[in-house]
Structure 1
C-alpha cells in the first residue's frame, strides 16, 4: 500500500502549521500591549483626593463670596431685603439675630471664622447661624442648605447641633425658667383682667413624631399617634410664652403619666417658688392654678372643666374654662408655625439631639415673644398692677421652714380643688353671667 501523502493532505498540513504560527504571533502582540498599558498607567499623575486618604476633594463653594452677598442682602446700609423679608425668613428681627449670633460666637469657637493652613477663610458666624435658624424654621434637610448658605451636608448637621446646644446653654437660664415674682405679678394681673383670678397659665402636652425611631423601640414610643412620638409637656400664658417645658417621655404615655415624671412641682417642694395668695368669691387661696383638660388629676393647682354641665351656670363655666385653656393650644400652634421642623417627623437618630432641638426652639420662641412685646407691640404684658388687684405675690419661704411633704399634700388636696372650682364658677356667673 502506498503511504505517500496525497497532495490535499500536504496542503492541509501546511495551512494548519501556518495557523498555529498566527495564533502565537497574536498572543505575543497582546502581551506586549498589556505591558505597554501598565507602563503608561504608572506614568500617569496621581489623582487629587481630600484631606484624608480615600476622601473626595473638597468642593470650592465660594464661601467668602456668598458671605459677602448674604451680608449685602440683609445687613448692609442699604440691604436688598427689608426687615419684613428678614423676619418672614428667619422668624425674628435683625437686631435679635445679631445679638444671638454675637453671643453664640463668644460662647462656642466653632462659630468664629477661621483660616485653614492655606490661609483660606471659612464660613462666617452669620452664615452658620442663618443656616441653623433656616433649618429650624423651614424643616429643610441639610442638603437643601448647600446652594444657599454654602454648607456641606455634614457641616450643616454639625452647625445645627452646636447652635441648639449653644442656645440652650446661653439662654436656658433666662428663657426656660419658672416665673419670678415680677413675672407672677404680670401673669396674675393679666388673668384677673380676663376674669380668672389666681390663674398662672394653661398646661397640656404635644407630640413630636420620630421618623428614625429604632424598630425595637417602636412599641414603646407609639401611642395614640400613627407612629413613634416623644411628648412635650408645657405651660403657656395668654401671649404664647412658655413657662415650663419637659420633653423626653415616650409617646405611649398619656398626659397623666407625663405629669408623674415631670419636674413641675420641684420648685414648690424645694421651697423656692414664690407664694401666690388671691381671693375669689369670699375665700382666700394660697396657691395659684393652671387650667387643664379632663385627664389631669383633681389637684388644688388644676382647674378643669365640667364634663356634663347641668344648668346655665355650669354651662357658662365650662365654656369659659375651655375657651381660656386654648392659650396653650394656641402656643403650640405658634411654636410649630414658627419652627416647621417640629411639624414634620424628626430625622435625627438620638433622643438627646431631639431634646436639644425642641428646647432650643422653645427658648427662641420665648425670646422672640419678649422681644416683640418689648418693642411695644403689646402693652398688656408690661401692665402696671393696680393696688386693688385681689392677689398678693410673696417671697418663697426659707429653706428651713419648707416642708416638701406638706407642700405635696397641699397640691394633691382634692377638697381644695372642688371648692376652688365652685368659687370660680360663682365668680364667673356673678361677673359675666348676665351677658349670656
Structure 2
C-alpha cells in the first residue's frame, strides 16, 4: 500500500470516526493519534500477528490495540450493500452497460452476466448454480458453473497473501467481527489495485478495448426475473449439447 492510499484511509477515519480523533484524556494528556491507531490495525491485518506482538513497537496496550482493530473494521459493508456501491456495477445499476451481444441455444442476448451464488438477486446479470441437482442435465450445468467459479475463488489466495490475518487461525471470537475483518481486507485490496493498476502491463490497452463512448440503455431489463430464468435454461441446454460427452 502506497503512502497516499494509507493517508486517505487515515484522513477519512479521522474526519468521520470520533474514536480515531486525538483528544485529551481524563488527566489532560493527549490520547493515541490517528496514525498510531491506523498503523496498529493495519500491522495486525497485514502480518497476522497477535496484538501482543505490536504493543511494545507502537507503545500501546493490548486492549487499545484490540479496540483500534475493531473500530477500524466496524464500518465494513455486507455483500449486498457492497454490490450497490461497487464500481463494477455502477453503470449496470444506473441501467447503462457496454453492449455485449452473444447467442445461447439459438437465442440472442445483449447483456453480459456474472457467475454468482445464492445470496445475489435474480437479475439478468447473475447466473447462479443449481442447488442439489437431480437430473443429469442439471448436474452437468452445476459442475461447469462451479468449476468456473473456482477460478474466481483462487483470487482469495491473493487476498490471503496480502493480509496474513485472514490466512492464519482467526484471533477473534465474534463471527460478525470476523466477517467485517474479511470485508475490510477486500475493500483495502481493491483500493490498492485501483491505485496501482497503471503499473500493470498493457493496462491502457485493456481499458481502450472495453471502453464504450455510448453505453447501451438497459432500462427495466436488468431486474427482469423472466429473462434471468430464460438465460439460465438456455445455458443449461447449451452446456448439455456441447459438454455431455
> What's the TM-score, normalizing by structure 1?
0.42
Paired residues of 2:95 and 2:222 also in contact (CA < 8 A)? no
Q: Which residue of 1 aligns with 2:196?
A: 372
Rounded to whole Å, the distance in 2 between the matches of 1:354 and 1:360 is: 10
Q: What displacement does 1:285 show?
A: 1.1
Deviation per CA, 1:12-53: give whole Å up to 9, x if none: xxxxxxxxxxxxxxxxxxxxxxxxxxxxxxxxxxxxxxxxxx
Q: Which residue of 2 aligns with 1:362?
A: 186
Matched residue of 1:284: which SS? strand
Matched residue of 1:180: which SS? helix
Match of 2:233 among 405, 408, 415: 415
Paired residues of 1:289 and 1:303 also in contact (CA < 8 A)? no
Deviation per CA, 1:181-236: give whole Å up to 9, x if none: 3xx7xxxxxxxxxxxxxxxxxxxxxxxxxxxxxxxxxxxxxxxxxxxxxxxxxxxx
Q: Determine which structure has the larger helix proportion and give its number.
A: 2
- The residue correspondences of 1:273-284 to structure 2 (distance < 5 A) are 274=96, 277-280=100-103, 284=108
Paired residues of 2:37 and 2:68 also in contact (CA < 8 A)? yes
Q: Which residue of 2 aligns with 1:331?
A: 155
Bigger radius of gyration, 1 or 2?
A: 1
Paired residues of 1:105 and 1:111 also in contact (CA < 8 A)? yes
Matched residue of 1:352: which SS? helix
Deviation per CA, 1:52-97: give whole Å up to 9, x if none: xxxxxxxxxxxxxxxxxxxxxxxxxxxxxxxxxxxxxxxx111110
Paired residues of 2:83 and 2:89 also in contact (CA < 8 A)? no
Alignment pair present for 1:351 and 2:175: yes
Q: What displacement does 1:144 show?
A: 1.5
> What's the TM-score, normalizing by structure 2?
0.70
Q: What displacement does 1:418 show?
A: 3.6
Cα RMSD (Å) of the superposition? 4.0
In structure 1, stretches of 5+ residues that fail to align are 1-91, 185-266, 294-298, 305-317, 426-436
CA distance change for structure 1 residues 403 and 292 in 2, over 3 Å: closer, same or farther?
Answer: closer
Alignment pair present for 1:142 and 2:48: no
Q: What displacement does 1:347 show?
A: 3.1
Q: Which has the higher contact order (CA 8 A, sep 6+)?
A: 2
Q: Which residue of 2 aligns with 1:394?
A: 216
Q: What displacement does 1:163 show?
A: 0.7
Q: What displacement does 1:403 show?
A: 9.3
Rounded to whole Å, the distance in 2 between the matches of 1:173 and 1:123 is: 35
Q: Which residue of 2 aligns with 1:179?
A: 89
Rounded to whole Å, the distance in 2 between the matches of 1:161 and 1:273 is: 37
- The residue correspondences of 1:102-117 to structure 2 (distance < 5 A) are 102-117=11-26
- The residue correspondences of 1:259-278 to structure 2 (distance < 5 A) are 274=96, 277-278=100-101
Aligned residues: 216
- The residue correspondences of 1:90-105 to structure 2 (distance < 5 A) are 92-105=1-14
Q: What displacement does 1:135 show?
A: 0.9
Rounded to whole Å, the distance in 2 between the matches of 1:149 and 1:355 is: 26
Q: What displacement does 1:277 show?
A: 3.8
Q: What displacement does 1:131 show?
A: 0.7
Paired residues of 1:176 and 1:363 also in contact (CA < 8 A)? no
Rounded to whole Å, the distance in 1 between the matches of 2:164 and 2:85 is: 21
- The residue correspondences of 1:163-312 to structure 2 (distance < 5 A) are 163-166=72-75, 168=77, 176=86, 178-181=88-91, 274=96, 277-280=100-103, 284-291=108-115, 301-302=126-127
In structure 2, stretches of 5+ residues that fail to align are 118-122, 130-143
Deviation per CA, 1:317-337: give whole Å up to 9, x if none: x8xx96x75641331111111
CA distance change for structure 1 residues 162 and 292 in 2, over 3 Å: closer, same or farther?
Answer: closer
Q: What displacement does 1:98 show?
A: 0.9
Deviation per CA, 1:330-368: give whole Å up to 9, x if none: 311111111111112223232221121111111111111
Matched residue of 2:108: which SS? strand
